[in-house]
Amino acid sequence: MSDAPVAVVTGGNRGIGLETCRQLAALGHRVVLTARDGAKGAAAARRLGAGAEAYQLDVTSAADAEALAAHLAERYGRLDVLVNNAAINYDTWQRVTTADLDQVRVTAETNLYGPWQLVQALLPLLRASRQARIVNVSSGAGAIDDLGAGTPAYSITKLALNGLTLMLARDLRQDRILVNAVCPGWVNTDMGGGGGRPVADGAAGVVWAATLPDGGPSGGFFRDRRRIPW
């Protein structure tokens, strides 16, 4: 079994997720690139080369989460890094007073319950690591200080993800598992709507949190390696 760190990245077939996979692979991680669309995930992993493998995963599926845990246990026996990146529905067309609550519920399944479920399923493997890290890719849109009336489904689920981050960090302190939320900022991705800074710059902060040394921060909210307000 290889000593290379093993990293799982959800939503890894494009944007921040794909670039995070690329940067982690360049640092010597064995990257498990997950995607809901298996064909797109496989194509993305091929572009990254030998340091990455694709795995089809719907983060809303408990069965998929358990199957991934079984795959990792058999192949690697541990997990060193979990990057919860998969997210949906930057609902710029909605306002909080008129929001379609069915859309909010669907968004929460991916943006909140998906990461939560995956942490629970993979926790035994993270505990088997000597230096486990969990990174929840969040957004300044979910910061209480910056909440507005728009993007209600996206913002409220990222706010909840930030809360989950803090709770996990406190619960896993005794396991020496560092858990942090990272806002990549406005980057040039499909969800970002074009424009913004290079994707590599946004992913760099995610990779920093994924590779923190022992004694690094836990339970924080960061952008570009700097704490930002919740």
* Domains held by the chain: number: 1
pLDDT value at residue 56 = 98
- pLDDT per position as a tens digit, 75-90: 999 999 999 999 999 9
Q: Which residues contact 39 (CB under 8 A, 6 or more apart)?
A: none
> Residue 64 is part of which domain span?
6-227
The catalytically annotated residue of 55, 76, 90, 154 is: 154
Looking at the DSSP bridge assignments, the partners of residue 221 are 181
Q: Tell me, what DSSP letter sits at residue 77?
A: S
User: Does residue 50 fall inside a structural domain?
Assistant: yes
Residue 121 lies in a domain: yes
The confidence band for 195, taking pLDDT boundaries of 50, 70 and 90, is low
149 within some domain:
yes
Residue 36 lies in a domain: yes
CATH code (residue 63): 3.40.50.720
- Confidence at 192, pLDDT banded by 50, 70, 90: low
On whether the CB atoms of residues 165 and 181 are closer than 8 A, the answer is yes
Residue 102 falls inside a structural domain = yes
- Model's pTM, two decimal places? 0.95
> Is 146 inside any structural domain?
yes
pLDDT grade for 1, boundaries at 50, 70 and 90: low
pLDDT digits (tens, 9 = 90+) for 127-159: 999 999 999 999 999 999 889 999 999 999 999
pLDDT of residue 136: 98
Is 154 an active-site residue? yes
Q: Sorting pLDDT into bands at 50, 70 and 90, what band is 186? A: confident
Is position 1 within any domain?
no
* Helices 15-26 and 199-210, axial angle in degrees (round to 10): 60
